[in-house]
Every structure is written in C-alpha cells, then in structure tokens.
C-alpha cells in the first residue's frame, strides 16, 4: 500500500513539474501584408494551419499569447483570409533555422517572454502597450440620448457607445481601445442618431470636407477628453465665436450643386453639397470661424465651377483665380447670389409694414424693438438692401437692445415676428 501511494505521489509530482514548464510566449508581428494574421509552429505539431489567430493591437501590430514548453521551437507567421500566405523568409536570415527546404523562425523559451518582429524580416520590434481606457465627455448636446462613435469599432456600431449624464449638461462614456494609435470619432445624439456637424477647417478635425470627424491620438496612458457639442472647445470653456453661414445660389446651370471655399483650405472639391429649397434655389449651412474674409465659388454638375469676371465687385479681383469674396462678421448670416453673377437673391419674401403697435430704433451696434408689455418678440432678421441676411436670432426677446453689427450710411430692413405676426421696418445708421 505504501509503495502504491509513493508511486502515485511521484506521478503527480512529475505531472505538475511538466505542467510548470509551460511558459507564456507572446508573439507580435509588425506590418503584415494583410489581415488576418496567424502564428504557426511546432507547439501544435504543425497541425493547426494557418495557426493561432493573432489580434490587432493597433499601429499595424498583431499579437497572440501561446503557452509553450521550455526549449527550442520553430514557427513562422501567416496571413490572409481565404488564401493563406506564409511570410517569405530565407534560410540565410539569422533568425531562421537555416533550412532551405523548411525555412522557419526559431525561438528558445526559458521564461515568459515576448517575441516581436517585422513581417518577412529578422528586424525586431518593440511590442506596443495593450489597451487603454479613454473617457469621452461632451457638453450640451442638442438632445438625448447621446453616443460616441469612432473608428476603433471600424465604424460598425452606429450610433456608438451610449453616454450617461454626469450633470451640468455633460455626458460621459469610457471606451477601451488599443494604445499607440490614431482614431477618428464623432458625438451622436437623439433617437434618430444625428451626428454633430463640424467644420473641416477646425484644428480638432481630420480636415476632410466630406467626412469631417474629430481626431484622437492615443498613447499608453488613460485619457479623459471633454468637448462642447459641435465645437472644438473644451468643456466649461468660453463659448467660441463660430457662426453658421448659409450659402444660397439661384438658377445654377445644372445639378447637383456645391459651394467650394477657403474655409476647407480648398481641399474638398467639388465642395459642400447644397439642397434644393424651391424657386430654383439651392442652399447649405456651414459652421465656421467668425470675423474673417472668405473666398468661394459655386460648382455644379460633374464639377463645373461658375465663371466670374475679376472686375466684378463681389470677387477677389484675381484674374487667375477669380473667386467670390465676402467678409463674415460675428453673427449668423446668409449669402445668396445668382449663378455666375454678383446679383443677389431677391428680398421679395420680406412682407408687411410696421404698425403703431411696434416701434424700432437702429444704431451701429444694436437694434431695439419696443412693443407693449403683452407682446413677445419671437425672432428678428436684419437684411441689407440687396437682400443679404446679416443677423438672425430665433430666441425669445424682451424689450431690450439686441447687439448687432451694421455699417453706417447703409439702409437695412428689419423683419420681426411678434405674437405670430410679421412686422417689417427700414432703418439707416448715420454717423
């Protein structure tokens, strides 16, 4: 009986000792020709071709950890999907077994280790850090629910990862993703999944006029990023002076119609696509920084730019690159012109005349509408004499002065909606 017990204990010890010899070897390969990627070697008796599947860890690296016995092993990397391709290593390379018929990489395992090499070479690499946690926060979205949606998921989970309220108009979500990589993302909100609209000229974006996304560079440390909805500004920062500029063009030669301009560094030709609003007029609204000169052109059809005369007053005067030139100020504005001309769109949609119920005063830096105490001002629009909208507000207003920017010695038309009725005034600022 004692002999049987001794033999049983000895067998158990030998099994445990053998199991303890297994080491965790992390294989990493950099820049394979394609994905999927596998590590294939003698640890499986070469029986599981194409091998153990490797996972992307960002930055062009793929990794897999395999328990292996201590000692010498041979292996190589494989990639592809339907047609698997072995990496092309040669027996003269120092990291191989030197066998011209079966050229494999070699590794001697003594402890837990990481083997990192560049595809098809013996050049070693440094395995990147694993995953990191990125906490995204967004302030004052247009509506709820709110999501963060990005390239780390392959853009495959729209509308994205749900964010939870933190109070103070801020929503947050933490996403785990591979370190040492660059990603693109957007915030999304509402039941319909409305993506925030960003300006490709803003420094926080990818600069792509067609698919304008935020940019994020992930290192090896966890990060928290908090941004205002549809802006580059950090949470709780001063509200920026970005404005919405509505471009309209009337009677283009053909469709589709676009506006193409300097705000995107002329990088998104044919530009931002415009939509029909009736009366042979097309429009699009683009957010951009205020108080700047912008140049632009309307484009239509398969990419035909409108032809302007450099002597016209609405252009930059450049005979080689003749573009429309406009200075935008600090208020939302509408720029409307007829195709291939400096003729502005008509103002026939400005109705009515003021009555004795409402009074108006206009100064260079403010407009004031005075009504009786029971009348609420619902909106104000100011147009110059050729019909360009230079100021709009749709917020409820009391009988106080509204800050605007108008020029001296020019006639302006002020349209106000009060208690559901439109009133129209004319005013001029005289210095």
Residue 375 lies in a domain: yes
Instruction: Please state, in angstroms and rounded to a whole number, the distance separating the CA atoms of residues 141 and 173.
Output: 14
CA angle 351–357–359, rounded 5-degree value: 80
**Among the three residues 93, 118, 143, which one is the final residue of a domain in this structure?**
118
* Together in a domain, 139 and 52: no
Residue 204 lies in a domain: yes
Residue 198 lies in a domain: yes
Instruction: Please state, in angstroms and rounded to a whole number, the distance separating the CA atoms of residues 47 and 40.
Output: 9
Q: What is the pTM of this model?
A: 0.36
* Together in a domain, 222 and 255: no
Backbone angles phi, psi at 230, to 5 degrees: 60, 25
Residue 100 lies in a domain: yes
pLDDT score at 302: 81
- Give the total number of structural domains in the chain: 4
* Together in a domain, 223 and 246: no
Residue 237 lies in a domain: no
CATH number of residue 396's parent domain:
2.60.40
CATH number of residue 58's parent domain:
2.60.40.10
pLDDT score at 8: 47
| pLDDT tens, residue by residue, 98-143 | 999 999 999 999 998 889 999 999 999 887 666 788 999 999 998 9
pLDDT score at 216: 94
**Which residue, 244, 269, 235, is CA-closest to 167?**
235
Residue 2 lies in a domain: no
| Residue corresponding to tokens 């049983």 | 8
* Together in a domain, 162 and 83: no
* Together in a domain, 112 and 139: no
Whether the bond between 256 and the residue before it is cis, its omega within 30 degrees of 0, is yes
Instruction: Please state, in angstroms and rounded to a whole number, the distance separating the CA atoms of residues 368 and 404.
Output: 10
Task: Tell me how far apart the 2 most distant CA atoms of the chain are, in Å.
Answer: 118
**Among the three residues 183, 202, 228, which one is the final residue of a domain in this structure?**
228
* Together in a domain, 104 and 190: no
* Together in a domain, 298 and 367: no
Residue 5 lies in a domain: no
Tokens of 209: 């006029």
**3-state SS assignment for residue 60:** coil
Task: Walk along the chain (431 residues) in steps of 10 and give the mean pLDDT of each run.
Answer: 46 43 87 90 95 83 89 94 89 95 95 92 82 90 93 90 92 87 93 90 89 90 91 74 85 92 88 90 88 91 90 89 88 87 60 50 68 68 75 68 73 76 70 50
Domain range holding 90? 21-118
**Which residue, 159, 140, 156, 139, is CA-closest to 148?**
159
* Together in a domain, 224 and 135: yes
**Among the three residues 70, 91, 118, which one is the final residue of a domain in this structure?**
118
Which pairing describes strands 52-58 and 61-68: parallel, antiparallel, or unpaired? antiparallel
* Together in a domain, 146 and 74: no
pLDDT score at 242: 73
Residue 10 lies in a domain: no
pLDDT score at 343: 78
* Together in a domain, 208 and 135: yes
* Together in a domain, 291 and 378: no
């Amino acid at each position: 009986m004692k002999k049987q017990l001794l033999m049983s204990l000895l067998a158990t010890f030998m099994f445990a000792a053998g199991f303890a010899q297994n080491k965790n070897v992390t294989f990493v390969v950099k820049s394979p020709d394609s994905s999927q990627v596998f590590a294939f070697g003698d640890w499986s008796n070469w029986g599981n071709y194409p091998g153990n599947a490797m996972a992307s860890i960002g930055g062009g690296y793929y990794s897999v950890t395999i328990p292996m016995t201590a000692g010498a092993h041979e292996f190589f990397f494989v990639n592809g999907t339907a047609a698997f391709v072995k990496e092309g290593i040669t027996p003269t390379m120092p990291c191989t077994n030197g066998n011209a018929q079966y050229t494999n990489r070699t590794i001697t395992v003594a402890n837990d280790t990481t083997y990192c090499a560049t595809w098809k070479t013996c050049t070693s690499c440094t395995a990147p850090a694993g995953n990191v946690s990125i906490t995204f926060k967004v302030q004052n979205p247009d509506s709820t629910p709110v999501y963060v949606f990005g390239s780390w998921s392959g853009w495959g989970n729209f509308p994205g990862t749900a964010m939870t309220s933190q109070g103070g108009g801020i929503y947050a979500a933490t996403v785990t993703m591979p370190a040492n990589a660059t990603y693109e993302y957007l915030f999304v909100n509402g039941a319909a999944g409305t993506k925030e609209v960003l300006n490709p000229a803003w420094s926080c974006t990818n600069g792509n006029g067609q698919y304008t996304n935020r940019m994020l560079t992930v290192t090896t440390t966890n990060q928290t990023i908090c941004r205002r909805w549809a802006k580059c500004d950090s949470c709780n920062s001063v509200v920026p002076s970005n404005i919405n500029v509505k471009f309209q063009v009337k009677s283009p030669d053909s469709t589709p119609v676009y506006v193409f301009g300097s705000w995107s560094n002329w990088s998104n030709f044919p530009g931002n696509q415009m939509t029909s609003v009736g009366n042979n007029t097309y429009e699009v609204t683009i957010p951009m920084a205020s108080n700047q000169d912008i140049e632009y052109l309307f484009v239509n059809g398969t990419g035909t730019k409108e032809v302007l005369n450099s002597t016209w007053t609405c252009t930059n005067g450049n005979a080689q690159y003749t573009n429309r030139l406009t200075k935008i100020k600090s208020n939302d504005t509408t720029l409307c012109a007829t195709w291939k001309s400096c003729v502005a769109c008509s103002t026939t949609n400005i109705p009515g005349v003021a009555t004795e119920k409402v009074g108006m005063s206009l100064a260079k830096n403010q407009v004031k509408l005075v009504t009786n105490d029971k009348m609420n001002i619902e909106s104000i629009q100011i147009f110059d004499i050729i019909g360009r909208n230079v100021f709009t507000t749709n917020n409820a207003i009391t009988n106080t002065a509204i800050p605007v920017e108008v020029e001296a010695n020019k006639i302006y038309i002020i349209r106000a909606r009060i208690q559901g009725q439109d009133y129209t005034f004319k005013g001029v600022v005289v210095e």
